[in-house]
Chains A and B, each alone.
Chain A
Amino acid sequence: MIEVRNLVKHYGDVKAVQDISFSVKNGEILGFLGPNGAGKTTTLKVITGYLSPTSGNIFVDDYNVIEDSMEIRKMIGYLPEMNPLYHDMEVYGFLEFVARAREIDKNQFRSRLNDVIELCGLKGVVHKNINELSKGYCQRVGLAQAIIHDPKILILDEPTSGLDPNQIAEIRGLIKNLGKEKTVVISSHILQEIQATADRMIIINEGEIVANGTIDELMSDFKGKTRLTLELKNATADSVKKVQSFQDGILLSKYEEKDENVFAVLEYPNSVDPRQDIYKYAVKNKWVILEMSRHKTSLEDVFRNLTIEGGSNNAK
Protein backbone atom coordinates (compact mmCIF):
# COMPACT_ATOMS: atom_id res chain seq x y z
CA MET A 1 0.00 0.00 0.00
CA ILE A 2 2.65 2.53 1.05
CA GLU A 3 6.14 1.89 -0.16
CA VAL A 4 9.04 4.13 0.75
CA ARG A 5 11.96 3.58 -1.62
CA ASN A 6 15.45 4.89 -0.85
CA LEU A 7 14.09 8.08 0.64
CA VAL A 8 16.67 10.80 1.25
CA LYS A 9 15.83 14.23 2.61
CA HIS A 10 18.38 16.91 3.40
CA TYR A 11 17.69 20.36 4.82
CA GLY A 12 20.67 22.24 3.49
CA ASP A 13 23.59 20.51 5.19
CA VAL A 14 21.43 18.63 7.65
CA LYS A 15 20.79 15.07 6.57
CA ALA A 16 17.40 14.43 8.13
CA VAL A 17 16.63 11.15 6.38
CA GLN A 18 19.34 9.03 4.79
CA ASP A 19 18.25 6.41 2.34
CA ILE A 20 15.45 4.60 4.11
CA SER A 21 13.15 2.02 2.57
CA PHE A 22 10.16 0.26 4.07
CA SER A 23 6.61 -0.61 3.24
CA VAL A 24 3.30 -0.55 5.03
CA LYS A 25 0.73 -3.21 4.24
CA ASN A 26 -2.97 -2.64 3.83
CA GLY A 27 -4.81 -2.43 7.13
CA GLU A 28 -1.66 -2.44 9.17
CA ILE A 29 -0.84 -0.12 12.06
CA LEU A 30 2.79 0.82 11.70
CA GLY A 31 4.58 2.46 14.61
CA PHE A 32 7.37 4.81 13.75
CA LEU A 33 9.64 5.00 16.73
CA GLY A 34 12.71 7.08 17.31
CA PRO A 35 14.18 9.76 19.52
CA ASN A 36 13.45 13.40 18.79
CA GLY A 37 15.11 14.55 15.59
CA ALA A 38 15.50 11.05 14.20
CA GLY A 39 13.69 11.83 10.96
CA LYS A 40 10.21 10.50 11.74
CA THR A 41 8.36 13.73 11.12
CA THR A 42 10.39 14.46 7.99
CA THR A 43 9.45 11.07 6.53
CA LEU A 44 5.78 11.64 7.29
CA LYS A 45 5.94 15.13 5.77
CA VAL A 46 7.26 13.65 2.53
CA ILE A 47 4.48 11.05 2.44
CA THR A 48 1.83 13.75 2.91
CA GLY A 49 3.32 15.97 0.22
CA TYR A 50 4.39 18.82 2.47
CA LEU A 51 8.02 18.25 1.54
CA SER A 52 9.56 16.77 -1.57
CA PRO A 53 12.23 14.10 -1.30
CA THR A 54 15.85 15.05 -2.02
CA SER A 55 16.03 11.68 -3.74
CA GLY A 56 14.11 8.44 -3.69
CA ASN A 57 10.36 8.21 -3.92
CA ILE A 58 7.28 7.08 -2.05
CA PHE A 59 4.59 5.01 -3.70
CA VAL A 60 1.02 4.80 -2.51
CA ASP A 61 -0.93 2.26 -4.52
CA ASP A 62 -0.13 3.21 -8.11
CA TYR A 63 0.76 6.79 -7.32
CA ASN A 64 4.03 8.39 -6.27
CA VAL A 65 4.61 11.55 -4.26
CA ILE A 66 6.72 13.27 -6.89
CA GLU A 67 4.17 13.14 -9.70
CA ASP A 68 0.80 12.49 -8.07
CA SER A 69 1.00 14.27 -4.73
CA MET A 70 -2.57 15.52 -5.17
CA GLU A 71 -4.03 12.02 -5.60
CA ILE A 72 -2.09 10.75 -2.60
CA ARG A 73 -3.18 13.69 -0.46
CA LYS A 74 -6.80 12.82 -1.23
CA MET A 75 -6.32 9.31 0.16
CA ILE A 76 -4.61 10.41 3.34
CA GLY A 77 -5.92 11.80 6.60
CA TYR A 78 -3.12 13.64 8.33
CA LEU A 79 -2.69 14.87 11.86
CA PRO A 80 0.51 16.95 11.81
CA GLU A 81 2.84 17.26 14.76
CA MET A 82 1.71 20.01 17.17
CA ASN A 83 -1.79 19.69 15.69
CA PRO A 84 -2.17 23.06 13.97
CA LEU A 85 -5.79 24.26 13.89
CA TYR A 86 -7.51 27.50 12.91
CA HIS A 87 -8.11 28.87 16.36
CA ASP A 88 -10.42 31.61 15.16
CA MET A 89 -12.98 29.08 13.90
CA GLU A 90 -15.76 27.09 15.48
CA VAL A 91 -15.31 23.33 15.57
CA TYR A 92 -18.31 22.96 13.27
CA GLY A 93 -17.08 25.55 10.79
CA PHE A 94 -13.62 24.04 10.81
CA LEU A 95 -14.85 20.52 10.13
CA GLU A 96 -17.16 21.85 7.43
CA PHE A 97 -14.20 23.58 5.80
CA VAL A 98 -12.18 20.37 5.84
CA ALA A 99 -15.14 18.38 4.54
CA ARG A 100 -15.56 20.78 1.63
CA ALA A 101 -11.84 20.58 0.90
CA ARG A 102 -12.23 16.79 0.95
CA GLU A 103 -15.05 16.94 -1.61
CA ILE A 104 -17.75 15.74 0.74
CA ASP A 105 -21.15 17.06 -0.27
CA LYS A 106 -23.67 18.54 2.13
CA ASN A 107 -25.79 15.44 2.74
CA GLN A 108 -22.79 13.23 3.22
CA PHE A 109 -21.32 15.81 5.57
CA ARG A 110 -24.24 15.53 8.01
CA SER A 111 -23.78 11.83 8.48
CA ARG A 112 -19.99 11.99 8.48
CA LEU A 113 -20.09 14.77 11.05
CA ASN A 114 -22.27 12.68 13.33
CA ASP A 115 -19.96 9.70 12.96
CA VAL A 116 -16.90 11.77 13.69
CA ILE A 117 -18.48 13.50 16.68
CA GLU A 118 -19.42 10.11 18.06
CA LEU A 119 -16.03 8.58 17.36
CA CYS A 120 -13.91 11.43 18.68
CA GLY A 121 -16.17 12.37 21.56
CA LEU A 122 -16.80 15.91 20.37
CA LYS A 123 -20.36 16.13 21.58
CA GLY A 124 -20.90 19.39 23.42
CA VAL A 125 -18.03 21.29 21.84
CA VAL A 126 -19.21 21.35 18.23
CA HIS A 127 -20.33 24.96 18.45
CA LYS A 128 -17.46 26.18 20.54
CA ASN A 129 -14.54 28.19 19.24
CA ILE A 130 -11.41 26.11 18.88
CA ASN A 131 -9.41 28.56 21.00
CA GLU A 132 -11.72 27.82 23.94
CA LEU A 133 -10.94 24.11 23.88
CA SER A 134 -8.55 22.25 26.13
CA LYS A 135 -5.54 20.56 24.62
CA GLY A 136 -7.20 17.17 24.77
CA TYR A 137 -10.23 18.41 22.88
CA CYS A 138 -8.02 20.16 20.33
CA GLN A 139 -6.32 16.83 19.71
CA ARG A 140 -9.70 15.21 19.17
CA VAL A 141 -10.63 17.94 16.70
CA GLY A 142 -7.32 17.28 14.94
CA LEU A 143 -8.15 13.61 14.73
CA ALA A 144 -11.71 14.34 13.61
CA GLN A 145 -10.34 16.57 10.85
CA ALA A 146 -8.07 13.73 9.72
CA ILE A 147 -10.81 11.10 9.48
CA ILE A 148 -13.79 13.14 8.30
CA HIS A 149 -13.41 11.91 4.71
CA ASP A 150 -12.99 8.31 5.86
CA PRO A 151 -9.48 8.04 4.36
CA LYS A 152 -7.84 4.75 3.55
CA ILE A 153 -4.62 5.92 5.12
CA LEU A 154 -4.21 7.75 8.39
CA ILE A 155 -0.95 9.45 9.29
CA LEU A 156 -0.61 10.59 12.87
CA ASP A 157 2.48 12.45 13.99
CA GLU A 158 2.94 12.29 17.77
CA PRO A 159 -0.82 12.19 18.35
CA THR A 160 -0.69 12.08 22.13
CA SER A 161 2.05 14.57 22.90
CA GLY A 162 1.09 17.00 25.62
CA LEU A 163 -1.95 15.09 26.81
CA ASP A 164 -2.63 13.80 30.31
CA PRO A 165 -2.62 10.05 30.97
CA ASN A 166 -6.40 9.68 30.70
CA GLN A 167 -6.53 11.50 27.41
CA ILE A 168 -3.58 9.47 26.15
CA ALA A 169 -5.42 6.24 26.93
CA GLU A 170 -8.52 7.52 25.13
CA ILE A 171 -6.67 8.62 22.02
CA ARG A 172 -4.78 5.33 21.88
CA GLY A 173 -8.05 3.44 22.12
CA LEU A 174 -9.39 5.55 19.30
CA ILE A 175 -6.36 4.88 17.11
CA LYS A 176 -6.55 1.16 17.78
CA ASN A 177 -10.21 1.27 16.74
CA LEU A 178 -9.51 3.17 13.56
CA GLY A 179 -6.70 0.79 12.73
CA LYS A 180 -9.16 -2.06 12.35
CA GLU A 181 -10.16 -0.84 8.91
CA LYS A 182 -7.48 1.63 7.93
CA THR A 183 -3.80 1.69 7.24
CA VAL A 184 -2.30 3.76 10.03
CA VAL A 185 1.18 5.18 10.40
CA ILE A 186 1.77 6.58 13.85
CA SER A 187 4.97 8.21 15.01
CA SER A 188 6.17 8.60 18.55
CA HIS A 189 9.27 8.88 20.65
CA ILE A 190 7.50 6.99 23.42
CA LEU A 191 7.82 3.25 23.24
CA GLN A 192 4.68 2.40 25.22
CA GLU A 193 2.67 4.37 22.74
CA ILE A 194 3.80 2.21 19.85
CA GLN A 195 3.57 -0.92 21.96
CA ALA A 196 -0.02 -0.08 22.83
CA THR A 197 -1.19 0.66 19.32
CA ALA A 198 0.98 -0.75 16.56
CA ASP A 199 1.18 -4.15 14.89
CA ARG A 200 4.68 -3.57 13.64
CA MET A 201 7.29 -0.99 14.31
CA ILE A 202 10.18 0.67 12.63
CA ILE A 203 12.86 2.18 14.80
CA ILE A 204 14.64 5.08 13.20
CA ASN A 205 17.66 6.96 14.44
CA GLU A 206 19.71 9.74 12.87
CA GLY A 207 17.81 9.32 9.65
CA GLU A 208 18.39 5.60 9.30
CA ILE A 209 16.26 2.58 10.05
CA VAL A 210 17.85 0.57 12.83
CA ALA A 211 15.16 -2.04 13.27
CA ASN A 212 12.01 -3.15 11.52
CA GLY A 213 9.74 -5.90 12.73
CA THR A 214 6.85 -6.89 14.93
CA ILE A 215 7.22 -6.20 18.59
CA ASP A 216 7.69 -9.93 19.32
CA GLU A 217 10.38 -10.20 16.69
CA LEU A 218 12.30 -7.28 18.06
CA MET A 219 11.99 -8.64 21.56
CA SER A 220 13.26 -12.05 20.54
CA ASP A 221 16.30 -10.51 18.92
CA PHE A 222 17.23 -9.39 22.33
CA LYS A 223 15.68 -12.24 24.19
CA GLY A 224 18.04 -14.57 25.80
CA LYS A 225 19.71 -11.66 27.41
CA THR A 226 19.52 -11.36 31.12
CA ARG A 227 21.49 -8.82 33.00
CA LEU A 228 22.83 -9.61 36.44
CA THR A 229 24.09 -6.79 38.59
CA LEU A 230 26.50 -7.67 41.35
CA GLU A 231 27.93 -5.65 44.19
CA LEU A 232 30.73 -7.49 45.95
CA LYS A 233 33.17 -6.99 48.75
CA ASN A 234 36.63 -8.57 48.95
CA ALA A 235 36.57 -9.45 45.27
CA THR A 236 39.44 -9.03 42.82
CA ALA A 237 39.24 -8.30 39.14
CA ASP A 238 40.86 -11.59 38.15
CA SER A 239 38.53 -13.70 40.23
CA VAL A 240 35.48 -11.88 38.96
CA LYS A 241 36.57 -12.36 35.36
CA LYS A 242 36.65 -16.11 35.93
CA VAL A 243 32.89 -16.12 36.31
CA GLN A 244 32.73 -15.85 32.53
CA SER A 245 34.07 -19.33 32.14
CA PHE A 246 31.35 -21.01 34.25
CA GLN A 247 29.02 -21.51 31.38
CA ASP A 248 28.82 -20.58 27.71
CA GLY A 249 27.59 -17.12 26.80
CA ILE A 250 28.34 -15.31 30.03
CA LEU A 251 29.82 -11.92 29.44
CA LEU A 252 31.23 -9.46 31.94
CA SER A 253 29.93 -6.25 30.43
CA LYS A 254 30.90 -3.90 33.21
CA TYR A 255 33.49 -3.96 35.95
CA GLU A 256 34.13 -1.10 38.33
CA GLU A 257 35.84 -0.72 41.68
CA LYS A 258 34.52 1.91 44.00
CA ASP A 259 35.86 2.32 47.52
CA GLU A 260 36.25 -1.27 48.70
CA ASN A 261 33.42 -2.65 46.63
CA VAL A 262 33.27 -4.09 43.18
CA PHE A 263 30.38 -3.44 40.85
CA ALA A 264 29.99 -5.91 38.03
CA VAL A 265 27.36 -6.49 35.39
CA LEU A 266 27.07 -9.85 33.72
CA GLU A 267 25.04 -10.58 30.62
CA TYR A 268 24.02 -14.05 29.59
CA PRO A 269 21.32 -15.81 27.58
CA ASN A 270 18.08 -16.79 29.27
CA SER A 271 18.86 -20.44 28.80
CA VAL A 272 21.65 -20.10 31.31
CA ASP A 273 21.43 -19.41 35.01
CA PRO A 274 24.80 -19.10 36.74
CA ARG A 275 23.54 -17.65 39.99
CA GLN A 276 24.05 -20.79 42.04
CA ASP A 277 27.59 -21.19 40.77
CA ILE A 278 28.33 -17.59 41.52
CA TYR A 279 27.13 -18.04 45.07
CA LYS A 280 29.31 -21.10 45.62
CA TYR A 281 32.24 -19.40 43.99
CA ALA A 282 31.73 -16.39 46.23
CA VAL A 283 31.78 -18.52 49.32
CA LYS A 284 34.96 -20.23 48.20
CA ASN A 285 36.69 -16.90 47.51
CA LYS A 286 35.29 -15.27 50.65
CA TRP A 287 33.45 -12.60 48.73
CA VAL A 288 30.62 -10.85 50.44
CA ILE A 289 27.66 -10.48 48.11
CA LEU A 290 26.03 -7.16 48.89
CA GLU A 291 23.70 -7.23 45.94
CA MET A 292 22.73 -9.65 43.23
CA SER A 293 19.82 -8.60 41.04
CA ARG A 294 18.52 -9.98 37.81
CA HIS A 295 16.97 -7.86 35.10
CA LYS A 296 15.34 -9.11 31.95
CA THR A 297 15.58 -7.04 28.80
CA SER A 298 12.47 -5.00 28.16
CA LEU A 299 11.39 -3.41 24.93
CA GLU A 300 12.59 -0.15 26.39
CA ASP A 301 16.10 -1.58 26.50
CA VAL A 302 15.75 -2.72 22.93
CA PHE A 303 14.84 0.81 21.97
CA ARG A 304 17.71 2.27 23.95
CA ASN A 305 20.13 -0.26 22.54
CA LEU A 306 19.07 0.36 19.00
CA THR A 307 19.05 4.10 19.10
CA ILE A 308 21.52 5.35 21.66
CA GLU A 309 24.19 2.74 21.26
CA GLY A 310 23.91 2.79 17.49
CA GLY A 311 23.21 -0.91 17.37
CA SER A 312 23.12 -0.91 13.60
CA ASN A 313 24.45 -4.47 13.61
CA ASN A 314 21.11 -5.51 15.04
CA ALA A 315 19.19 -4.09 12.14
CA LYS A 316 17.46 -6.51 9.90
Chain B
Amino acid sequence: MRNNFSIIYRREVQSFFSSPVAYITLVVFLLINAWFFTSTFFLINESDLRTLFSVIPIVYIFFVPAITMGLIAKEKNSGTMEFITTLPFTDGEIIVAKYLAALTLLGTALAFTLVHFFTLLVVGNNIDIGALISGYFGLLLVGGAYAAIGTFGSTVTDNQITAFIISFLIIFVLFILDKILIFMPGFLSSILQYLSIDYHLNNISRGVIDSRNLVYFGSLILFFLLVSVRILEMRRWR
Protein backbone atom coordinates (compact mmCIF):
# COMPACT_ATOMS: atom_id res chain seq x y z
CA MET B 1 0.00 0.00 0.00
CA ARG B 2 2.59 2.52 1.15
CA ASN B 3 4.89 1.08 -1.47
CA ASN B 4 2.61 2.27 -4.25
CA PHE B 5 3.07 5.88 -3.14
CA SER B 6 6.80 5.62 -3.43
CA ILE B 7 6.63 3.96 -6.86
CA ILE B 8 4.51 6.74 -8.36
CA TYR B 9 6.36 9.40 -6.39
CA ARG B 10 9.77 8.28 -7.60
CA ARG B 11 8.72 8.19 -11.22
CA GLU B 12 7.20 11.63 -10.92
CA VAL B 13 10.26 13.19 -9.29
CA GLN B 14 12.55 11.55 -11.86
CA SER B 15 10.41 12.86 -14.64
CA PHE B 16 10.50 16.37 -13.10
CA PHE B 17 14.25 16.43 -12.90
CA SER B 18 14.81 14.91 -16.33
CA SER B 19 13.09 17.84 -17.99
CA PRO B 20 14.91 21.12 -18.63
CA VAL B 21 11.72 23.06 -17.91
CA ALA B 22 11.99 22.15 -14.24
CA TYR B 23 15.49 23.62 -14.04
CA ILE B 24 14.50 26.77 -15.89
CA THR B 25 11.53 27.31 -13.56
CA LEU B 26 13.78 26.69 -10.59
CA VAL B 27 16.41 29.18 -11.75
CA VAL B 28 13.82 31.85 -12.52
CA PHE B 29 12.28 31.35 -9.09
CA LEU B 30 15.62 31.72 -7.35
CA LEU B 31 16.73 34.72 -9.43
CA ILE B 32 13.56 36.69 -8.80
CA ASN B 33 13.68 36.02 -5.07
CA ALA B 34 17.36 36.80 -4.86
CA TRP B 35 16.95 40.05 -6.74
CA PHE B 36 14.08 41.30 -4.57
CA PHE B 37 15.82 40.24 -1.41
CA THR B 38 19.38 41.42 -1.97
CA SER B 39 18.55 44.69 -3.69
CA THR B 40 17.03 46.06 -0.46
CA PHE B 41 18.78 43.89 2.11
CA PHE B 42 21.68 46.25 2.81
CA LEU B 43 19.53 49.36 2.44
CA ILE B 44 17.08 48.28 5.12
CA ASN B 45 19.99 47.10 7.23
CA GLU B 46 18.02 44.74 9.45
CA SER B 47 19.02 41.23 10.43
CA ASP B 48 15.96 39.40 9.19
CA LEU B 49 14.51 37.79 6.08
CA ARG B 50 11.25 39.71 6.13
CA THR B 51 11.57 40.86 2.50
CA LEU B 52 12.27 37.31 1.39
CA PHE B 53 9.32 35.98 3.32
CA SER B 54 7.01 38.53 1.75
CA VAL B 55 8.33 38.09 -1.80
CA ILE B 56 8.27 34.29 -1.99
CA PRO B 57 4.48 33.93 -1.50
CA ILE B 58 3.99 36.34 -4.40
CA VAL B 59 6.43 34.51 -6.66
CA TYR B 60 4.71 31.27 -5.60
CA ILE B 61 1.52 32.48 -7.30
CA PHE B 62 3.22 31.84 -10.64
CA PHE B 63 5.81 29.29 -9.63
CA VAL B 64 3.57 26.70 -7.98
CA PRO B 65 1.00 26.45 -10.80
CA ALA B 66 3.92 26.15 -13.21
CA ILE B 67 5.25 23.05 -11.46
CA THR B 68 1.87 21.46 -10.79
CA MET B 69 0.17 22.13 -14.12
CA GLY B 70 1.50 18.96 -15.70
CA LEU B 71 0.85 16.57 -12.82
CA ILE B 72 -2.39 15.10 -14.12
CA ALA B 73 -3.17 17.19 -17.20
CA LYS B 74 -0.07 15.91 -19.00
CA GLU B 75 -1.02 12.30 -18.34
CA LYS B 76 -4.55 12.90 -19.53
CA ASN B 77 -3.29 14.62 -22.65
CA SER B 78 -0.79 11.94 -23.62
CA GLY B 79 -3.12 9.05 -22.77
CA THR B 80 -0.85 7.65 -20.06
CA MET B 81 -3.67 8.31 -17.60
CA GLU B 82 -5.33 5.17 -18.89
CA PHE B 83 -2.09 3.31 -18.42
CA ILE B 84 -1.42 4.40 -14.85
CA THR B 85 -5.03 4.07 -13.67
CA THR B 86 -5.24 0.49 -14.93
CA LEU B 87 -2.16 -0.47 -12.93
CA PRO B 88 -3.07 -1.63 -9.44
CA PHE B 89 -2.95 1.90 -7.97
CA THR B 90 -5.87 3.64 -6.31
CA ASP B 91 -6.80 7.11 -7.51
CA GLY B 92 -5.93 8.45 -4.07
CA GLU B 93 -2.43 7.02 -4.27
CA ILE B 94 -1.91 8.63 -7.65
CA ILE B 95 -3.05 12.08 -6.50
CA VAL B 96 -1.18 12.09 -3.19
CA ALA B 97 2.05 10.70 -4.67
CA LYS B 98 2.01 13.30 -7.40
CA TYR B 99 1.22 16.04 -4.92
CA LEU B 100 4.16 14.98 -2.77
CA ALA B 101 6.41 14.98 -5.83
CA ALA B 102 5.41 18.58 -6.58
CA LEU B 103 6.03 19.42 -2.94
CA THR B 104 9.50 17.92 -3.25
CA LEU B 105 10.36 20.24 -6.11
CA LEU B 106 8.95 23.12 -4.11
CA GLY B 107 11.05 22.10 -1.11
CA THR B 108 14.14 21.92 -3.30
CA ALA B 109 13.50 25.44 -4.54
CA LEU B 110 12.99 26.63 -0.99
CA ALA B 111 16.17 24.88 0.16
CA PHE B 112 18.18 26.91 -2.34
CA THR B 113 16.90 30.14 -0.77
CA LEU B 114 18.69 29.09 2.40
CA VAL B 115 21.66 30.81 0.77
CA HIS B 116 20.13 34.07 1.97
CA PHE B 117 19.67 32.59 5.41
CA PHE B 118 23.38 31.75 5.62
CA THR B 119 24.34 35.15 4.24
CA LEU B 120 22.33 36.65 7.05
CA LEU B 121 24.06 34.42 9.60
CA VAL B 122 27.42 35.70 8.39
CA VAL B 123 26.71 39.42 8.07
CA GLY B 124 23.91 39.96 10.57
CA ASN B 125 23.72 40.28 14.32
CA ASN B 126 20.99 39.76 16.91
CA ILE B 127 19.35 37.24 14.65
CA ASP B 128 16.01 35.78 15.76
CA ILE B 129 16.53 32.20 14.62
CA GLY B 130 13.10 31.15 15.86
CA ALA B 131 11.38 33.71 13.63
CA LEU B 132 13.41 32.51 10.66
CA ILE B 133 12.47 28.90 11.23
CA SER B 134 8.80 29.68 11.66
CA GLY B 135 9.05 31.89 8.56
CA TYR B 136 10.31 28.96 6.51
CA PHE B 137 7.69 26.74 8.06
CA GLY B 138 5.06 29.22 6.91
CA LEU B 139 6.47 29.23 3.39
CA LEU B 140 6.28 25.45 3.30
CA LEU B 141 2.68 25.49 4.46
CA VAL B 142 1.69 28.10 1.89
CA GLY B 143 3.55 26.17 -0.80
CA GLY B 144 1.76 23.03 0.29
CA ALA B 145 -1.63 24.72 0.07
CA TYR B 146 -0.85 26.22 -3.34
CA ALA B 147 0.42 22.87 -4.61
CA ALA B 148 -2.84 21.22 -3.54
CA ILE B 149 -4.75 23.88 -5.47
CA GLY B 150 -2.38 23.31 -8.41
CA THR B 151 -3.03 19.57 -8.26
CA PHE B 152 -6.74 20.29 -8.38
CA GLY B 153 -6.26 22.66 -11.35
CA SER B 154 -4.33 19.97 -13.17
CA THR B 155 -7.00 17.37 -12.51
CA VAL B 156 -9.92 19.27 -14.00
CA THR B 157 -8.45 19.61 -17.50
CA ASP B 158 -6.18 17.85 -19.96
CA ASN B 159 -4.56 21.09 -21.06
CA GLN B 160 -1.55 22.28 -19.08
CA ILE B 161 -2.09 25.95 -19.90
CA THR B 162 -5.70 25.76 -18.73
CA ALA B 163 -4.51 23.97 -15.60
CA PHE B 164 -2.04 26.79 -14.96
CA ILE B 165 -4.67 29.48 -15.38
CA ILE B 166 -7.25 27.75 -13.16
CA SER B 167 -4.72 27.18 -10.37
CA PHE B 168 -3.37 30.69 -10.75
CA LEU B 169 -6.84 32.23 -10.45
CA ILE B 170 -7.82 30.28 -7.34
CA ILE B 171 -4.52 31.04 -5.67
CA PHE B 172 -4.72 34.67 -6.67
CA VAL B 173 -8.20 35.08 -5.21
CA LEU B 174 -7.16 33.50 -1.91
CA PHE B 175 -4.09 35.72 -1.88
CA ILE B 176 -5.87 38.98 -2.70
CA LEU B 177 -8.73 38.40 -0.24
CA ASP B 178 -6.80 39.98 2.60
CA LYS B 179 -6.15 43.13 0.58
CA ILE B 180 -9.75 43.89 -0.35
CA LEU B 181 -11.22 43.54 3.11
CA ILE B 182 -11.70 47.28 3.53
CA PHE B 183 -14.27 47.28 0.73
CA MET B 184 -16.31 44.58 2.42
CA PRO B 185 -19.14 44.93 4.93
CA GLY B 186 -18.18 44.03 8.49
CA PHE B 187 -19.85 40.67 8.83
CA LEU B 188 -18.27 39.42 5.59
CA SER B 189 -14.85 40.78 6.27
CA SER B 190 -14.13 38.49 9.22
CA ILE B 191 -15.13 35.44 7.19
CA LEU B 192 -13.09 36.52 4.22
CA GLN B 193 -10.19 37.33 6.44
CA TYR B 194 -10.22 33.81 7.81
CA LEU B 195 -10.25 32.46 4.25
CA SER B 196 -7.35 34.57 3.07
CA ILE B 197 -3.95 32.98 2.93
CA ASP B 198 -2.04 36.11 3.85
CA TYR B 199 -3.79 36.47 7.18
CA HIS B 200 -2.66 33.04 8.32
CA LEU B 201 0.77 33.36 6.82
CA ASN B 202 1.39 36.67 8.60
CA ASN B 203 0.67 35.05 11.93
CA ILE B 204 3.14 32.27 11.30
CA SER B 205 5.78 34.60 9.85
CA ARG B 206 5.60 36.65 13.02
CA GLY B 207 6.62 33.52 14.85
CA VAL B 208 3.18 32.71 16.23
CA ILE B 209 2.24 29.17 15.27
CA ASP B 210 -1.40 28.93 16.24
CA SER B 211 -3.48 25.80 15.77
CA ARG B 212 -6.08 27.94 13.97
CA ASN B 213 -3.55 28.62 11.22
CA LEU B 214 -2.45 25.01 11.04
CA VAL B 215 -6.06 23.87 10.79
CA TYR B 216 -6.60 26.40 8.00
CA PHE B 217 -3.70 25.18 5.87
CA GLY B 218 -4.37 21.55 6.70
CA SER B 219 -8.00 21.75 5.67
CA LEU B 220 -7.17 23.72 2.51
CA ILE B 221 -4.73 21.00 1.43
CA LEU B 222 -7.07 18.19 2.39
CA PHE B 223 -10.03 19.78 0.65
CA PHE B 224 -8.32 20.29 -2.71
CA LEU B 225 -6.67 16.86 -2.68
CA LEU B 226 -9.97 15.17 -1.86
CA VAL B 227 -11.77 17.03 -4.62
CA SER B 228 -8.95 16.06 -7.01
CA VAL B 229 -9.35 12.39 -6.15
CA ARG B 230 -13.11 12.64 -6.67
CA ILE B 231 -12.64 14.29 -10.04
CA LEU B 232 -10.18 11.62 -11.09
CA GLU B 233 -12.69 8.95 -10.07
CA MET B 234 -15.41 10.66 -12.06
CA ARG B 235 -13.81 9.60 -15.36
CA ARG B 236 -15.20 6.13 -14.71
CA TRP B 237 -18.74 7.46 -14.74
CA ARG B 238 -18.56 10.04 -17.51
User: Which A positions have Cβ atoms within 8 angstroms of B?
Assistant: 11-12, 45, 48-52, 70, 73-74, 76, 78, 80, 82, 84-89, 93, 97-98, 100-103, 145
Q: What are the 7 tightest A-B residue pairs by CB atom distance, in nearest-first order?
A: A84-B79, A52-B236, A84-B80, A48-B86, A101-B87, A100-B7, A73-B88
B88 x A70 contact (CB < 8 A): yes
With A51-B235, A51-B236, A89-B15 as contacts: A102 and B88 at CB distance below 8 Å? yes
With a cutoff of 8 Å between Cβ atoms, the chain B residues found around residue A70 in the complex are 88, 90
Known: A12-B238, A50-B86, A80-B82. A88 touches B7 (CB 8 A): no
Residue numbers in A under 8 Å from B86 (CB-CB): 48-50, 73, 76, 78, 80
CB < 8 Å A-B pair total: 64
Cα separation A100 to B8 with both chains bound (whole Å):
10
Chain B residues within 8 Å of A98, by CB: 87
Excluding A50-B86, A82-B79, 18 further A-B contacts by CB distance (< 8 Å) are: A11-B238, A48-B86, A49-B85, A50-B236, A51-B238, A52-B236, A52-B237, A70-B90, A80-B79, A80-B83, A84-B79, A86-B80, A88-B15, A100-B3, A101-B4, A101-B87, A101-B89, A103-B88
| Contact between chains at B11 and A97 (CB < 8 Å) | yes
Majority DSSP secondary structure for residues of B touching A: helix
Partner of A85, one of B4, B7, B15, B80: B80
Contacts of B85 in A (CB 8 A): 49-50
Q: Shortest distance in angstroms between B1's beta carbon and chain A's nearest beta carbon?
A: 11
Least CB distance, B126 to chain A, in whole angstroms: 49
Q: Scoring B residues 169 to 206 as 1 if CB is less than 8 Å from chain A, else 0, what string do you get?
A: 00000000000000000000000000000000000000
The A-contacting residues of B in range 131-165, CB under 8 angstroms, are none
CA distance A163 to B3 in the complex (A): 37
CA distance A87 to B90 in the complex (A): 23
Interface bits B94-111 vs A (CB < 8 Å: 1, else 0): 000000000000000000
What chain B residues lie within 8 Å of A93 (beta carbons)? Answer: 14
Provide the residues of chain A in CB contact with B90, threshold 8 Å: 70
